[in-house]
Amino acid sequence: MSRPVNLTPSDYLEVYMGPDICPTALLSKINEKTYRSLHISGQYHWTQVIPFLHTGTNVSVCLYDNMDLPEEDMEEFFRTLWNYKINDFSLFNTNCDKTWLDAAYKTSSTMIGTVFKSVEVIKSLYSYFRVTAVTNNDTVMTLLMVDSDIENNEEESDDDELTDDDDII
């Protein structure tokens, strides 16, 4: 923030959000939004992510640590990502537990027909969940999440498959 000259990040922008960070003030220090990837970490609300997005953010958006995204705001957040054509979206948040995943899947499923053609969730190896949504213009939006419950439950196996009995649907 105290740099004497403005910056123009060309490949990726990495931001650590704390209580003293104002996205508008930080963005005023950037000449133009030309970065293709965005990485945000720290403690932040989902609305603080939006000012950093731009149509050129087409490689990836990675959100780390603790993002506050209540279930009632998920549809607006997913629609915003879709409007910016964000295809690869990863959440490595400490608050991504099974309840959060269920809510994300439920919310994105209700958007079938308006934003998405289809939505599916897959639990893969190494404790990742992948929600894949095919948009109405045939692009694929991937939401990759680390299951934070796994870190707390060491006895779970990495090769557990997600079944219909796992009440994701």
Per-residue confidence in pLDDT tens, the chain, 169 aa: 566 777 888 888 999 998 888 999 999 999 889 999 999 999 999 999 999 999 888 788 889 999 999 889 989 998 888 888 777 788 887 776 777 778 888 888 888 888 888 888 777 655 667 777 887 777 777 777 776 554 444 444 444 444 444 443 3
Specify the pLDDT at position 149: 56
Q: In what order do the strands lie in the sheet with 12-17?
A: 12-17, 37-45, 60-68, 88-93, 140-146, 128-135, 116-124
Residue 100, exposed/middle/buried by CB under 10 A (0-12, 13-18, 19+)?
Answer: buried
